[in-house]
């Protein structure tokens, strides 16, 4: 099992997208987001998500490079079982800093942020499913090693959707380029080198 961008479909198609050689360029619609209840008290399921179904355990990777300008501009990977069960992980602008952001939603959403080093080519991120766990990592540009960010519970199911996600909760026109998206067998369950 190894997949690229071919044969994927949109949840909430953006007003503009273009495929290139191993790339996807997206411009977001107005006030798009994925969130459920916690703290803010609203439900949003309007973000853009280009996805494909995958069975069993897997690892998915993508490089994300965006023109982050407005609070909460975000882009990355998403794994989704339903509107009530999903995880999004990627780069998000908060307080003027592009953080690595992870939102885990099992009926209600939570949010975590970590400041990571990124290079001019953007950030490479990876989600791995190991049965009931989703492992979130980024590629450290300083030494080329994968760093852990989150190990989160996710409901067991035969199939989930995996793909690229982007949102702009406070504007329209956030531009992001995804490159080298790949889904393949799950990496080893070893958590530490």
% the chain with pLDDT above 90? 91
Average confidence score pLDDT of the chain: 95
Domains in the chain, ordered, with CATH? 9-184 (2.60.120.200)
Question: From CA 169, how far away is CA 44, in angstroms rounded?
Answer: 9
Look at the alpha carbons of 11, 12, 18, 24 in this order and tell me if their dihedral is positive or negative. negative
pLDDT of residue 118: 83
Q: What's the whole-model pTM score?
A: 0.96
For residue 185, pLDDT over 70 is answered with: yes
Instruction: Find the angle CA(126)-CA(129)-CA(130) to the nearest 5 degrees.
Output: 130
According to the model, what pLDDT value does residue 122 have?
94
Amino acid 36: pLDDT: 97
Candidates 110, 136, 93, 139; CA nearest to 36 is 110
Give the pLDDT confidence of 109-131 residue by residue, as tens digits. Answer: 999 999 998 888 999 999 999 99
* Dihedral pair phi/psi, residue 47, rounded to 5°: -65, 165
Q: Where are the beta strands (DSSP E) in the chain?
A: 9-11, 16-19, 23-27, 34-36, 43-45, 48-55, 58-66, 74-82, 85-94, 97-106, 108-114, 123-130, 133-139, 146-153, 159-167, 175-184
pLDDT at 82 over 60: yes
- Name the pairing type of β-strands 43-45 and 48-55: unpaired
Question: pLDDT tens-digit profile of 117-169?
Answer: 888 899 999 999 999 999 999 999 999 999 999 999 999 999 999 999 999 99
Q: Which residue blocks in the chain are alpha helix, DSSP H?
A: none
Residue 193 in this model has a pLDDT that exceeds 70:
no
What pLDDT is attached to residue 192? 81
Question: What is the reported pLDDT for 1?
Answer: 56
């Amino acid at each position: 099992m190894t997949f690229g961008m071919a044969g994927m479909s949109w949840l909430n198609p953006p007003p503009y997208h273009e495929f290139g050689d191993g790339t996807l360029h997206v411009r977001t619609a107005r006030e798009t987001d994925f969130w459920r209840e916690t703290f803010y008290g609203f439900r949003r399921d309007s973000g853009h998500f280009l996805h494909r179904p995958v069975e069993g355990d897997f690892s998915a990777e993508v490089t994300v490079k965006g023109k982050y300008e407005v609070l909460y501009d975000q882009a990355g990977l998403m794994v989704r079982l339903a509107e009530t069960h999903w995880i999004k992980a990627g780069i998000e602008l908060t307080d003027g800093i592009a953080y690595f952001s992870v939102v885990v939603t099992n009926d209600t959403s939570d949010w975590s942020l970590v400041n990571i080093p990124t290079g001019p080519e953007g950030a490479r991120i990876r989600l791995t499913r190991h049965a009931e766990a989703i492992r979130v990592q980024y590629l450290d540009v300083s030494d080329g090693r994968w760093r852990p960010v989150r190990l989160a519970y996710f409901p067991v199911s035969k199939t989930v959707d995996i793909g690229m996600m982007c949102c702009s909760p406070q504007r329209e026109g956030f531009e992001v380029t995804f490159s080298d998206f790949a889904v393949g067998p799950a990496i080893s369950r070893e958590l530490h080198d």
